Every structure is written in structure tokens, then in C-alpha cells.
Chain A
């Protein structure tokens, strides 16, 4: 039976990593834009990103654009692999659940 990654299997982090997976490994997204897409508070998003960062699934970089500090977030190759494994496990578990019900 496949296991669901507990770092990903929580609504806020699942939404965050799904969005970052769409942004792609070769891109990074401004924290403010990510926050807008996810409709989360800055504090809440930071908390969940830190958990994903601790697991090595995302990187958070701070930079200066003009005179304004900006934070960018990107999914790592490990994050992409973990997300793909999570999706696969979810699919398998749902299929098993359906088979058991029928």
C-alpha cells in the first residue's frame, strides 16, 4: 500500500505545492503573487512554506528589485519528485478504495 507524504498531505501545503508544481522547477514565483493565487495570509503561507522548505521541497530566496525587497519561491527537483509520488499514491489509494467499495 502506498504512503501519502505527511508534509504534503495537508490542505494548505497541498495547494501551495500544486501551484508551485504548475510554476515549474525552472521558474520562481513572487511570494506576493503566490499569496494572491492561494488566497492565504502572509503569515500562514510563510509557515507552510517553511515546512516545505525544511523537507527540501521548495527554496525561498530573497532579492532586491529596484529598491524593494522581494521574495521568490520555487519548487525543487526533490519537491517535484515528492509531489509526483504523492499524486501517484493518491491515485492508487483512491482506486483501491473504489475497488473495495464495489
Chain B
């Protein structure tokens, strides 16, 4: 009797589940892994798509306002951008909150401090933004500087998150955002929004597509 048959016979002594052949066992493992990863790690593709749309609409409105393509004042466009980002943050918290519910231990510790890093990073950015608001007069130069700091935090935390949670897509996106950040600052106050509208939201769209493909492919090996 080969070992697969022996294992099947032995497992039948434990319960009355139907016998499992080798290929079925491989299928069970692949399906269970795929489902567990989806339930435990959430759907990263949706989070990236959410932020792609947030940046596309937010930077798009500012970009359109800056160039006079849409009848919206820059200050109104900025408020709209802020509201979109706030909605994106809220939705992200809900998604990750649902995903981490029912799990205790080391990942709770890591996730908690990673979330705290985001909160602290943007708290520092808020204080810096106030100082920049007082020190810098030009509306678009101010915007470029504040945006530059915000994306620096986003890029660094994406790289940190990617290395912590072993997610290469997140690491690459973090690197991409930092490169786009440098390019936007070099482009200057006149064009930084164009750079972010195209390459910032574009990075999120590509990241969402790549992540969706990776999630669909799932584990295949024994």
C-alpha cells in the first residue's frame, strides 16, 4: 500500500470524511490558502484603487482649477481635495479594521504601531503645514511644499509597510511615490500638480491592477 493510500486509510480512522487523493489535497491547500490570505490580508487591490480614484479626482480638480479648465476656485478645489482624502482615510480605516478584527498577537502589535506611524507622520505634517502657511506666501508654492512633505511620508511608510508585511508591490509603490515626489518638486509650483495627477494616481492604478492579478493567481505549489 502506498503512503497516500495509507494516509487516507488512517485519516478514515479519525472520522468519516471522504477519502482525499493527492491532487484533491493540493487543490484544498491552494483554495484554503487563497481564501485565508484574502480574508486575513484584505483586498489590497481595492485599497489601491480607492486611493487611485481619490488622487485622480483630488489632484484632477486642483489641476483643472490651476489651469482654469474647470470653473472652481483653487481654494474650493483644495477643500474638495481635503474632503476626498478624509473620505479615503475613513474608508481605509474601515477596510483594515474589518480585516484585523478577530486576530490577536504579534500582527496586532505590528499593525497598531504601523497605524500609529501614519498618525504621527501626518500630525507632524499638519504642524509643518501651519508653519509653511505662515512663512510662504505663494498659494501654489505652499501647496507644492506641503504636498512634497505628505508624499515623503506616504512613500517612506509604503516602503516600511511593504517590508514589514512582505509585500513587494507596496515597496515598489513607495519607491515610485518618492521618485514622483522628486519629479514634482523639480517641476516646480507651476507643474507639480500635473506630475501628481498623471504619475501619482497612475502609480496607484497600476499598483491596483498588479495586486489584483497577484491575488487572482494565488498560491499554486504544494
Would you give the 0/1 interface string for A16-32, flagging 1 where the beta carbon is closer than 8 Å to chain B?
00110011101111101
Q: Smallest Cβ distance from A3 to chain B, in angstroms?
A: 5
- List of B residues within 8 angstroms of A22 by Cβ: 33, 36-37, 40
Complex interface residues of chain A between 45 and 74 (CB less than 8 A to chain B): 47-48, 51, 72, 74
Name which of B18, B23, B31, B32 has the most chain A CB atoms within 10 A of its CB: B32
Indicate whether B106 reaches chain A with its CB closer than 8 angstroms: yes
- Contact-residue bracket for chain A: 35 or more
How far apart sit A94 and B107, CA to CA, in the bound complex (Å)? 34
Q: Is the CB of A14 within 8 A of B25?
A: yes
Q: How many residues of B contact A (CB 8 A)?
A: 39
A78 part of interface (Cβ distance < 8 Å): no
B14 within 8 A of A: yes
B217 within 8 A of A: no
* CB pair B107 A26 closer than 8 Å: yes
Nearest A residue to B2, CB-CB = A1
Q: Is the CB of A27 within 8 A of B15?
A: no
B103 adjacent to chain A (CB < 8 Å): yes
Check if A18 sits within 8 Å of B28, measured CB to CB.
Answer: yes
Cα(A101)–Cα(B7), bound, Å: 21
Q: In the complex where A27-B104, A33-B101, A51-B14 touch, is A97 in contact with B22 (Cβ < 8 A)?
A: yes
- A-B pairs with beta carbons under 8 A, tally: 118
Q: Is the CB of A11 within 8 A of B101?
A: no
Residues of chain B with a CB closer than 8 A to A93's CB: 2-4, 22
Residues of chain B with a CB closer than 8 A to A24's CB: 105-107
Which residues of chain A are within 8 angstroms of B39 by Cβ–Cβ distance?
33, 36-37
- Min distance, Cβ B2 to any Cβ of chain A, angstroms: 7
Q: Are B102 and A30 in contact (CB under 8 A)?
A: yes
Inter-chain pairs besides A33-B102, A90-B29, 20 sampled, C-beta below 8 Å: A1-B2, A1-B3, A3-B3, A3-B6, A4-B6, A7-B11, A9-B7, A10-B17, A15-B31, A28-B103, A29-B102, A30-B101, A33-B39, A33-B101, A36-B39, A51-B14, A90-B22, A90-B25, A91-B222, A94-B23
- Please list 9 pairs of residues, one from A and one from B, whose beta carbons are closer than 8 Å in the complex, sorted by A's number: A3-B3, A3-B7, A11-B28, A12-B15, A22-B40, A24-B106, A37-B40, A87-B29, A94-B22
